[in-house]
Structure 1
Amino acid sequence: MLRRIKDRLTGIVRSIGWADGCVYVAARAIQALSLGRAELRKYYFVSQPIPSAPLLPKNRGASIVVERIARQHPLVSAFPRPSQVIADRFDNDAICFLATKNGEFVGFLWLQAGSYREDEVRCLFTPLPARRAIWDFDVHIEPAYRSSFAFARLWDTANQYLRDQDVCWSVSRISAFNAGSINAHARLGAFPIGAACFLKGRTWQLTLSSSPAFFHFSSGEHAVPQISLPAAPEHRRRYRRFSRHG
Protein backbone atom coordinates (compact mmCIF):
# COMPACT_ATOMS: atom_id res chain seq x y z
CA MET A 1 0.00 0.00 0.00
CA LEU A 2 2.73 2.46 1.01
CA ARG A 3 4.76 1.47 -2.03
CA ARG A 4 1.81 2.20 -4.34
CA ILE A 5 1.34 5.61 -2.75
CA LYS A 6 5.07 6.33 -3.06
CA ASP A 7 5.11 5.26 -6.73
CA ARG A 8 2.07 7.42 -7.50
CA LEU A 9 3.57 10.49 -5.82
CA THR A 10 6.87 9.90 -7.61
CA GLY A 11 5.05 9.79 -10.96
CA ILE A 12 3.21 13.01 -10.20
CA VAL A 13 6.39 14.80 -9.14
CA ARG A 14 8.12 13.68 -12.34
CA SER A 15 5.27 15.05 -14.47
CA ILE A 16 4.92 18.44 -12.75
CA GLY A 17 8.42 19.07 -11.33
CA TRP A 18 9.80 19.10 -7.80
CA ALA A 19 8.56 22.57 -6.79
CA ASP A 20 4.95 21.99 -7.79
CA GLY A 21 5.24 18.37 -6.66
CA CYS A 22 6.00 19.57 -3.14
CA VAL A 23 2.97 21.87 -3.28
CA TYR A 24 0.86 18.93 -4.45
CA VAL A 25 2.04 16.75 -1.55
CA ALA A 26 1.31 19.61 0.86
CA ALA A 27 -2.17 20.02 -0.66
CA ARG A 28 -2.98 16.34 -0.18
CA ALA A 29 -1.67 16.42 3.40
CA ILE A 30 -3.71 19.52 4.27
CA GLN A 31 -6.86 17.96 2.86
CA ALA A 32 -6.31 14.72 4.77
CA LEU A 33 -5.32 16.27 8.10
CA SER A 34 -8.23 18.74 8.01
CA LEU A 35 -10.69 15.98 7.03
CA GLY A 36 -11.58 17.96 3.93
CA ARG A 37 -12.22 21.23 5.78
CA ALA A 38 -9.22 22.98 4.21
CA GLU A 39 -7.58 22.87 0.79
CA LEU A 40 -4.54 24.26 -0.98
CA ARG A 41 -4.68 25.15 -4.66
CA LYS A 42 -2.02 26.55 -6.96
CA TYR A 43 -2.76 28.07 -10.35
CA TYR A 44 -0.70 29.34 -13.25
CA PHE A 45 -2.21 32.16 -15.28
CA VAL A 46 -1.58 32.08 -19.02
CA SER A 47 -2.24 34.44 -21.90
CA GLN A 48 -3.06 32.94 -25.29
CA PRO A 49 -2.73 35.15 -28.39
CA ILE A 50 -5.76 35.00 -30.68
CA PRO A 51 -4.37 33.54 -33.92
CA SER A 52 -5.00 35.26 -37.24
CA ALA A 53 -5.85 31.98 -39.00
CA PRO A 54 -7.88 28.85 -38.09
CA LEU A 55 -6.22 25.89 -36.42
CA LEU A 56 -7.91 23.45 -38.81
CA PRO A 57 -8.52 23.39 -42.57
CA LYS A 58 -12.19 24.04 -43.29
CA ASN A 59 -12.97 20.40 -44.18
CA ARG A 60 -11.35 18.91 -41.03
CA GLY A 61 -13.79 17.97 -38.30
CA ALA A 62 -16.69 19.33 -40.33
CA SER A 63 -19.09 16.80 -38.77
CA ILE A 64 -18.61 18.55 -35.41
CA VAL A 65 -20.87 21.60 -35.26
CA VAL A 66 -19.92 24.47 -32.96
CA GLU A 67 -22.29 27.33 -32.15
CA ARG A 68 -22.79 30.01 -29.55
CA ILE A 69 -25.85 29.15 -27.47
CA ALA A 70 -28.18 30.68 -24.89
CA ARG A 71 -29.49 29.03 -21.72
CA GLN A 72 -32.65 27.87 -23.54
CA HIS A 73 -30.72 25.39 -25.70
CA PRO A 74 -32.09 21.87 -25.07
CA LEU A 75 -28.63 20.34 -24.51
CA VAL A 76 -27.83 22.67 -21.59
CA SER A 77 -29.50 20.12 -19.32
CA ALA A 78 -26.90 17.55 -20.46
CA PHE A 79 -23.94 19.64 -19.36
CA PRO A 80 -21.77 17.75 -16.83
CA ARG A 81 -21.91 20.60 -14.31
CA PRO A 82 -24.39 21.46 -11.53
CA SER A 83 -27.41 23.28 -12.96
CA GLN A 84 -26.94 26.22 -10.56
CA VAL A 85 -23.35 26.69 -11.76
CA ILE A 86 -24.54 26.87 -15.37
CA ALA A 87 -27.37 29.25 -14.44
CA ASP A 88 -24.91 31.53 -12.62
CA ARG A 89 -22.69 31.65 -15.70
CA PHE A 90 -25.52 32.76 -17.95
CA ASP A 91 -26.65 35.25 -15.28
CA ASN A 92 -23.15 36.77 -15.41
CA ASP A 93 -23.36 37.07 -19.23
CA ALA A 94 -20.76 34.37 -19.85
CA ILE A 95 -20.54 33.21 -23.47
CA CYS A 96 -20.95 29.50 -24.19
CA PHE A 97 -19.82 27.72 -27.35
CA LEU A 98 -21.35 24.26 -27.73
CA ALA A 99 -19.93 21.43 -29.85
CA THR A 100 -22.26 18.69 -31.11
CA LYS A 101 -22.12 15.79 -33.55
CA ASN A 102 -25.34 14.47 -35.04
CA GLY A 103 -27.19 16.33 -32.30
CA GLU A 104 -25.17 14.67 -29.53
CA PHE A 105 -23.35 16.68 -26.86
CA VAL A 106 -19.59 16.76 -27.55
CA GLY A 107 -18.24 19.59 -25.41
CA PHE A 108 -18.22 23.28 -24.57
CA LEU A 109 -15.98 26.30 -24.09
CA TRP A 110 -16.83 29.37 -21.99
CA LEU A 111 -15.70 33.00 -22.24
CA GLN A 112 -16.23 35.86 -19.80
CA ALA A 113 -15.72 39.54 -20.65
CA GLY A 114 -14.53 41.76 -17.79
CA SER A 115 -13.85 40.12 -14.43
CA TYR A 116 -14.46 36.43 -13.81
CA ARG A 117 -15.66 35.21 -10.41
CA GLU A 118 -13.83 31.94 -9.77
CA ASP A 119 -15.92 29.09 -8.36
CA GLU A 120 -13.11 26.90 -6.96
CA VAL A 121 -11.74 29.67 -4.72
CA ARG A 122 -13.01 33.11 -3.70
CA CYS A 123 -11.38 35.46 -6.20
CA LEU A 124 -12.05 37.82 -9.11
CA PHE A 125 -9.69 37.42 -12.06
CA THR A 126 -9.45 40.48 -14.31
CA PRO A 127 -7.60 40.19 -17.64
CA LEU A 128 -6.16 43.45 -18.98
CA PRO A 129 -6.42 45.57 -21.04
CA ALA A 130 -10.19 45.75 -20.90
CA ARG A 131 -11.95 44.90 -24.18
CA ARG A 132 -8.69 43.58 -25.64
CA ALA A 133 -8.36 40.58 -23.34
CA ILE A 134 -11.01 38.07 -22.30
CA TRP A 135 -11.20 35.22 -19.77
CA ASP A 136 -11.68 31.66 -21.03
CA PHE A 137 -12.62 28.81 -18.72
CA ASP A 138 -14.00 25.29 -18.45
CA VAL A 139 -13.10 23.85 -21.84
CA HIS A 140 -14.69 20.40 -21.70
CA ILE A 141 -14.65 17.57 -24.24
CA GLU A 142 -16.56 14.34 -23.64
CA PRO A 143 -14.17 11.36 -23.26
CA ALA A 144 -15.36 9.68 -26.47
CA TYR A 145 -14.34 12.75 -28.50
CA ARG A 146 -11.01 13.66 -26.91
CA SER A 147 -9.04 12.17 -29.80
CA SER A 148 -11.22 13.98 -32.37
CA PHE A 149 -11.07 17.49 -33.82
CA ALA A 150 -13.58 18.77 -31.22
CA PHE A 151 -11.05 20.77 -29.20
CA ALA A 152 -9.67 22.57 -32.26
CA ARG A 153 -13.16 23.14 -33.69
CA LEU A 154 -14.28 24.78 -30.45
CA TRP A 155 -11.28 27.06 -30.41
CA ASP A 156 -11.58 27.94 -34.10
CA THR A 157 -15.16 29.13 -33.58
CA ALA A 158 -14.31 30.99 -30.37
CA ASN A 159 -11.25 32.59 -31.98
CA GLN A 160 -13.28 33.82 -34.94
CA TYR A 161 -15.74 35.42 -32.53
CA LEU A 162 -12.87 37.06 -30.62
CA ARG A 163 -11.24 38.36 -33.82
CA ASP A 164 -14.56 39.93 -34.77
CA GLN A 165 -14.59 41.66 -31.35
CA ASP A 166 -10.98 42.89 -31.77
CA VAL A 167 -9.87 40.82 -28.77
CA CYS A 168 -6.14 40.05 -28.87
CA TRP A 169 -5.61 37.69 -25.93
CA SER A 170 -7.49 35.02 -24.04
CA VAL A 171 -6.45 34.61 -20.40
CA SER A 172 -7.11 31.58 -18.19
CA ARG A 173 -5.93 29.77 -15.09
CA ILE A 174 -4.53 26.23 -15.04
CA SER A 175 -4.00 24.01 -12.03
CA ALA A 176 -0.28 23.68 -11.36
CA PHE A 177 -0.97 19.97 -10.88
CA ASN A 178 -2.40 19.46 -14.39
CA ALA A 179 0.56 18.83 -16.69
CA GLY A 180 -1.68 17.85 -19.62
CA SER A 181 -3.55 21.16 -19.59
CA ILE A 182 -0.33 23.16 -19.28
CA ASN A 183 1.12 21.37 -22.30
CA ALA A 184 -2.11 21.75 -24.32
CA HIS A 185 -2.17 25.51 -23.69
CA ALA A 186 1.52 25.81 -24.56
CA ARG A 187 0.89 24.06 -27.90
CA LEU A 188 -1.71 26.75 -28.65
CA GLY A 189 0.91 29.46 -28.06
CA ALA A 190 -0.04 30.35 -24.48
CA PHE A 191 2.62 31.87 -22.22
CA PRO A 192 2.59 32.31 -18.41
CA ILE A 193 1.82 35.71 -16.90
CA GLY A 194 1.56 34.81 -13.22
CA ALA A 195 0.82 32.29 -10.50
CA ALA A 196 -1.11 32.19 -7.24
CA CYS A 197 -1.68 29.92 -4.24
CA PHE A 198 -4.92 29.75 -2.27
CA LEU A 199 -5.15 28.17 1.17
CA LYS A 200 -8.86 27.95 1.90
CA GLY A 201 -10.94 26.88 4.89
CA ARG A 202 -14.68 26.88 5.44
CA THR A 203 -14.94 30.66 5.98
CA TRP A 204 -11.37 31.96 5.62
CA GLN A 205 -8.88 32.15 2.77
CA LEU A 206 -5.24 33.16 2.35
CA THR A 207 -4.14 34.29 -1.11
CA LEU A 208 -0.55 34.68 -2.30
CA SER A 209 -0.16 35.94 -5.87
CA SER A 210 2.63 37.08 -8.18
CA SER A 211 0.22 39.72 -9.53
CA PRO A 212 -1.81 42.46 -7.78
CA ALA A 213 -3.31 41.80 -5.30
CA PHE A 214 -0.17 40.12 -4.00
CA PHE A 215 -1.39 39.13 -0.53
CA HIS A 216 -4.94 38.87 0.79
CA PHE A 217 -6.54 37.32 3.83
CA SER A 218 -10.29 37.08 4.27
CA SER A 219 -12.26 35.76 7.22
CA GLY A 220 -15.64 35.72 5.49
CA GLU A 221 -17.38 34.70 2.30
CA HIS A 222 -17.85 38.27 1.04
CA ALA A 223 -14.22 39.44 1.17
CA VAL A 224 -12.96 38.58 -2.30
CA PRO A 225 -9.52 39.55 -3.67
CA GLN A 226 -9.16 40.76 -7.24
CA ILE A 227 -6.13 39.64 -9.24
CA SER A 228 -5.30 41.81 -12.24
CA LEU A 229 -3.61 39.99 -15.11
CA PRO A 230 -2.02 42.06 -17.91
CA ALA A 231 -2.11 39.79 -20.93
CA ALA A 232 0.42 41.38 -23.31
CA PRO A 233 3.72 39.54 -24.06
CA GLU A 234 5.81 42.09 -22.14
CA HIS A 235 4.20 40.75 -18.97
CA ARG A 236 5.36 37.21 -19.67
CA ARG A 237 6.92 35.43 -16.71
CA ARG A 238 9.53 32.70 -16.66
CA TYR A 239 8.65 29.45 -14.92
CA ARG A 240 10.59 26.21 -15.21
CA ARG A 241 7.38 24.35 -16.04
CA PHE A 242 7.07 26.33 -19.28
CA SER A 243 10.72 26.55 -20.26
CA ARG A 244 10.54 23.60 -22.66
CA HIS A 245 8.01 25.53 -24.74
CA GLY A 246 10.18 28.63 -25.12
Structure 2
Amino acid sequence: MSTAAPNGGRLQRLRAHFDSLGALDGSLYLLDQLLQRASAGRLRVLRYHVVAQPLTGSAAAMRPDGKTVIVPADSQHPLVGSFPRPPAVIAQRFANGAQCLLATVAGQFAGYLWWQTGHYDEDEVRCQFVLAQPARSVWDFDVYVEPRYRLGRTMARLWQAAEQHLQQQGVAWSCSRISTYNAASLNAHARLGARTVASALFIVVGPLQLSLFNQRPGVHLALGRSSRPVLRVAPP
Protein backbone atom coordinates (compact mmCIF):
# COMPACT_ATOMS: atom_id res chain seq x y z
CA MET A 1 0.00 0.00 0.00
CA SER A 2 1.36 3.42 -0.96
CA THR A 3 2.02 5.98 1.77
CA ALA A 4 2.61 8.88 -0.60
CA ALA A 5 -0.80 10.49 -0.08
CA PRO A 6 -0.72 10.46 3.76
CA ASN A 7 2.87 11.71 3.75
CA GLY A 8 1.91 14.42 1.28
CA GLY A 9 -0.94 15.49 3.54
CA ARG A 10 1.35 15.70 6.54
CA LEU A 11 3.85 17.80 4.60
CA GLN A 12 1.09 20.17 3.50
CA ARG A 13 -0.11 20.57 7.09
CA LEU A 14 3.47 21.15 8.24
CA ARG A 15 3.99 23.80 5.54
CA ALA A 16 0.72 25.53 6.47
CA HIS A 17 1.74 25.41 10.12
CA PHE A 18 5.03 27.22 9.45
CA ASP A 19 3.31 29.69 7.12
CA SER A 20 0.92 30.75 9.91
CA LEU A 21 3.42 30.79 12.81
CA GLY A 22 6.70 31.65 11.14
CA ALA A 23 9.98 29.77 11.39
CA LEU A 24 10.74 30.54 15.07
CA ASP A 25 7.36 29.82 16.63
CA GLY A 26 6.67 26.97 14.21
CA SER A 27 9.90 25.26 15.28
CA LEU A 28 9.27 25.91 18.99
CA TYR A 29 5.74 24.53 18.70
CA LEU A 30 6.94 21.30 17.08
CA LEU A 31 9.68 20.95 19.71
CA ASP A 32 7.12 21.48 22.49
CA GLN A 33 4.80 18.83 21.04
CA LEU A 34 7.60 16.29 20.68
CA LEU A 35 8.94 16.87 24.20
CA GLN A 36 5.49 16.83 25.75
CA ARG A 37 4.59 13.50 24.18
CA ALA A 38 7.95 11.92 24.95
CA SER A 39 7.88 12.99 28.62
CA ALA A 40 4.18 12.62 29.48
CA GLY A 41 3.93 16.39 29.89
CA ARG A 42 7.02 16.90 32.10
CA LEU A 43 8.99 18.74 29.39
CA ARG A 44 7.53 21.87 27.78
CA VAL A 45 8.68 24.79 25.66
CA LEU A 46 6.13 27.61 25.75
CA ARG A 47 6.30 31.11 24.31
CA TYR A 48 3.83 33.92 25.00
CA HIS A 49 3.17 37.46 23.92
CA VAL A 50 1.69 39.70 26.61
CA VAL A 51 -0.77 42.06 24.97
CA ALA A 52 -2.71 45.13 26.09
CA GLN A 53 -6.06 45.75 24.42
CA PRO A 54 -7.70 49.18 24.59
CA LEU A 55 -11.27 49.29 25.86
CA THR A 56 -12.77 51.41 23.12
CA GLY A 57 -16.39 50.28 23.04
CA SER A 58 -15.82 48.71 19.63
CA ALA A 59 -18.78 46.35 20.01
CA ALA A 60 -21.26 48.97 21.24
CA ALA A 61 -23.21 49.11 17.96
CA MET A 62 -24.56 45.54 18.19
CA ARG A 63 -28.32 45.12 18.34
CA PRO A 64 -29.79 43.78 21.59
CA ASP A 65 -30.62 40.07 21.67
CA GLY A 66 -33.55 39.11 23.89
CA LYS A 67 -32.31 35.53 24.31
CA THR A 68 -28.78 36.42 25.41
CA VAL A 69 -28.29 37.61 28.98
CA ILE A 70 -24.89 38.59 30.40
CA VAL A 71 -24.55 39.20 34.14
CA PRO A 72 -21.80 39.20 36.78
CA ALA A 73 -21.60 35.82 38.51
CA ASP A 74 -20.34 34.97 42.00
CA SER A 75 -19.59 31.61 43.60
CA GLN A 76 -23.26 31.13 44.55
CA HIS A 77 -24.67 31.47 41.05
CA PRO A 78 -26.71 28.35 40.16
CA LEU A 79 -24.90 27.88 36.83
CA VAL A 80 -21.40 27.77 38.33
CA GLY A 81 -21.70 23.99 38.26
CA SER A 82 -21.94 24.18 34.46
CA PHE A 83 -18.54 25.86 34.11
CA PRO A 84 -16.10 23.71 32.06
CA ARG A 85 -13.37 23.78 34.69
CA PRO A 86 -12.81 21.71 37.86
CA PRO A 87 -14.84 23.05 40.82
CA ALA A 88 -11.67 23.54 42.87
CA VAL A 89 -10.21 25.79 40.13
CA ILE A 90 -13.37 27.91 39.99
CA ALA A 91 -13.51 28.18 43.78
CA GLN A 92 -9.88 29.31 43.91
CA ARG A 93 -10.54 32.00 41.30
CA PHE A 94 -13.34 33.49 43.36
CA ALA A 95 -11.22 33.22 46.52
CA ASN A 96 -8.45 35.17 44.72
CA GLY A 97 -10.88 37.98 43.91
CA ALA A 98 -11.33 37.22 40.21
CA GLN A 99 -14.52 38.54 38.63
CA CYS A 100 -16.67 36.67 36.13
CA LEU A 101 -19.20 37.68 33.49
CA LEU A 102 -21.61 34.88 32.64
CA ALA A 103 -23.48 34.56 29.34
CA THR A 104 -26.68 32.56 28.95
CA VAL A 105 -28.79 31.97 25.85
CA ALA A 106 -32.43 31.10 26.52
CA GLY A 107 -31.45 30.33 30.12
CA GLN A 108 -28.67 27.88 29.17
CA PHE A 109 -24.99 28.35 29.98
CA ALA A 110 -23.30 29.85 26.89
CA GLY A 111 -19.93 31.10 28.10
CA TYR A 112 -17.97 33.33 30.43
CA LEU A 113 -15.14 35.84 30.68
CA TRP A 114 -12.86 36.32 33.70
CA TRP A 115 -10.60 39.15 34.82
CA GLN A 116 -8.34 39.87 37.76
CA THR A 117 -7.19 43.15 39.25
CA GLY A 118 -3.75 43.89 40.68
CA HIS A 119 -1.93 40.74 39.58
CA TYR A 120 -2.53 37.33 38.03
CA ASP A 121 -0.79 34.03 38.85
CA GLU A 122 -0.43 32.07 35.60
CA ASP A 123 -1.40 28.40 35.85
CA GLU A 124 0.11 26.91 32.68
CA VAL A 125 3.62 27.97 33.72
CA ARG A 126 4.90 29.53 36.94
CA CYS A 127 4.79 33.30 36.53
CA GLN A 128 3.08 36.21 38.25
CA PHE A 129 1.94 39.07 36.03
CA VAL A 130 1.71 42.33 38.00
CA LEU A 131 -0.26 45.23 36.55
CA ALA A 132 1.90 48.36 36.69
CA GLN A 133 -1.20 50.61 36.42
CA PRO A 134 -3.85 48.73 38.44
CA ALA A 135 -6.34 51.61 38.39
CA ARG A 136 -6.35 51.71 34.58
CA SER A 137 -5.89 48.05 33.63
CA VAL A 138 -7.08 44.52 34.40
CA TRP A 139 -5.88 41.05 33.44
CA ASP A 140 -8.41 38.99 31.46
CA PHE A 141 -8.20 35.22 31.14
CA ASP A 142 -10.14 32.07 30.26
CA VAL A 143 -12.62 33.56 27.79
CA TYR A 144 -14.87 30.62 26.92
CA VAL A 145 -17.92 30.11 24.69
CA GLU A 146 -19.80 26.84 24.36
CA PRO A 147 -19.16 25.21 20.94
CA ARG A 148 -22.76 25.51 19.74
CA TYR A 149 -22.65 29.30 20.19
CA ARG A 150 -19.25 29.99 18.62
CA LEU A 151 -20.66 30.83 15.19
CA GLY A 152 -22.94 33.49 16.67
CA ARG A 153 -22.36 36.78 18.48
CA THR A 154 -21.98 35.41 22.02
CA MET A 155 -18.25 36.17 22.19
CA ALA A 156 -18.75 39.71 20.87
CA ARG A 157 -21.58 40.32 23.34
CA LEU A 158 -19.45 39.06 26.23
CA TRP A 159 -16.65 41.42 25.29
CA GLN A 160 -19.09 44.32 24.82
CA ALA A 161 -20.49 43.75 28.33
CA ALA A 162 -16.98 43.52 29.80
CA GLU A 163 -15.91 46.76 28.08
CA GLN A 164 -18.95 48.63 29.37
CA HIS A 165 -18.53 47.30 32.91
CA LEU A 166 -14.80 48.07 33.07
CA GLN A 167 -15.05 51.50 31.44
CA GLN A 168 -17.54 52.51 34.11
CA GLN A 169 -14.80 51.73 36.67
CA GLY A 170 -12.24 53.88 34.83
CA VAL A 171 -10.36 50.95 33.29
CA ALA A 172 -8.84 51.70 29.88
CA TRP A 173 -6.82 48.55 29.10
CA SER A 174 -7.27 44.80 29.40
CA CYS A 175 -4.06 42.75 29.42
CA SER A 176 -3.58 39.05 28.75
CA ARG A 177 -1.05 36.52 27.57
CA ILE A 178 -1.46 34.70 24.27
CA SER A 179 0.51 31.67 23.13
CA THR A 180 2.59 32.51 20.07
CA TYR A 181 1.52 29.08 18.82
CA ASN A 182 -2.07 30.39 18.50
CA ALA A 183 -1.96 32.53 15.37
CA ALA A 184 -5.75 32.84 15.18
CA SER A 185 -5.99 34.39 18.65
CA LEU A 186 -3.09 36.77 18.00
CA ASN A 187 -4.70 37.94 14.76
CA ALA A 188 -8.11 38.37 16.41
CA HIS A 189 -6.63 40.49 19.20
CA ALA A 190 -4.65 42.54 16.68
CA ARG A 191 -7.85 43.35 14.79
CA LEU A 192 -9.26 44.73 18.04
CA GLY A 193 -6.26 46.99 18.53
CA ALA A 194 -4.21 44.87 20.96
CA ARG A 195 -0.53 45.77 21.24
CA THR A 196 2.29 43.47 22.32
CA VAL A 197 3.97 44.86 25.44
CA ALA A 198 6.20 41.90 26.43
CA SER A 199 7.28 38.43 25.31
CA ALA A 200 8.38 35.42 27.34
CA LEU A 201 9.80 31.95 26.71
CA PHE A 202 9.42 29.19 29.32
CA ILE A 203 11.41 25.96 29.29
CA VAL A 204 9.96 23.52 31.80
CA VAL A 205 11.74 20.35 32.96
CA GLY A 206 9.60 18.85 35.69
CA PRO A 207 9.96 21.16 38.73
CA LEU A 208 12.70 23.20 37.02
CA GLN A 209 11.75 26.20 34.91
CA LEU A 210 13.93 28.58 32.91
CA SER A 211 12.14 31.83 31.98
CA LEU A 212 13.45 34.28 29.38
CA PHE A 213 11.86 37.73 29.00
CA ASN A 214 12.48 40.61 26.62
CA GLN A 215 12.41 42.99 29.60
CA ARG A 216 13.00 42.80 33.35
CA PRO A 217 13.55 40.35 35.02
CA GLY A 218 15.26 39.13 31.82
CA VAL A 219 16.24 35.64 32.99
CA HIS A 220 14.80 33.63 35.88
CA LEU A 221 15.65 30.09 36.96
CA ALA A 222 13.20 28.32 39.26
CA LEU A 223 14.62 25.28 41.02
CA GLY A 224 11.33 24.28 42.65
CA ARG A 225 7.59 24.61 42.17
CA SER A 226 7.29 27.41 44.73
CA SER A 227 9.60 29.75 42.80
CA ARG A 228 8.22 31.99 40.06
CA PRO A 229 9.32 35.12 38.20
CA VAL A 230 7.38 38.38 38.43
CA LEU A 231 6.72 40.38 35.27
CA ARG A 232 5.39 43.93 35.51
CA VAL A 233 2.93 44.66 32.73
CA ALA A 234 2.30 48.25 31.66
CA PRO A 235 -0.04 49.43 28.89
CA PRO A 236 1.69 51.24 26.00
TM range (shorter): over 0.9
For 1:1-246, what aligned pairs fall within 5 Å after superposition? 2-51=7-56, 53=57, 55-57=59-61, 59-232=63-236
For 1:157 and 1:7, how far apart are their aligned partners in 2? Answer: 40
Q: Name structure 2 gaps, 5 residues minimum.
A: 1-5
Task: Report how many residues are paired.
Answer: 231
Displacement of 1:157 after TM fit? 1.0
TM-score (norm 2): 0.92
Deviation string, structure 1 residues 192-218 (Cα, Å, up to 9, x no partner)? 111111111221111011132211001
Displacement of 1:140 after TM fit? 0.5
Deviation string, structure 1 residues 121-172 (Cα, Å, up to 9, x no partner)? 1110112212111100111111111111111111111111111111111000
Displacement of 1:34 after TM fit? 2.8
For 2:115 and 2:40, how far apart are their aligned partners in 1? Answer: 34
Which residue identity does 1:34 align to in structure 2?
S
Which residue identity does 1:70 align to in structure 2?
D
Consecutive aligned runs of 4 or more in structure 1 exceeding 4 Å deviation: 1-4
For 1:201 and 1:74, how far apart are their aligned partners in 2? Answer: 40
Displacement of 1:102 after TM fit? 1.1
Please provide the CA RMSD for this pair.
1.5
Displacement of 1:10 after TM fit? 2.0
TM-score (norm 1): 0.89
For 2:224 and 2:164, how far apart are their aligned partners in 1? Answer: 41
Q: Which segment drifts farther, 104-113 or 77-86?
A: 77-86
For 2:127 and 2:7, how far apart are their aligned partners in 1? Answer: 37
3-state SS of 2:79 partner: helix
For 1:102 and 1:13, how far apart are their aligned partners in 2? Answer: 41
For 1:212 and 1:49, how far apart are their aligned partners in 2? Answer: 23
Deviation string, structure 1 residues 51-106 (Cα, Å, up to 9, x no partner)? 1x351435343421111110111111111111111111001000000000111011
For 2:195 and 2:103, how far apart are their aligned partners in 1? Answer: 26
Displacement of 1:3 after TM fit? 4.5
For 1:25 and 1:134, how far apart are their aligned partners in 2? Answer: 32
Which residue identity does 1:19 align to in structure 2?
L
Q: 1:61·1:148 contact (CA, 8 Å) conserved in 2?
A: no
For 1:88 and 1:193, how far apart are their aligned partners in 2? Answer: 28
Larger radius of gyration: 2
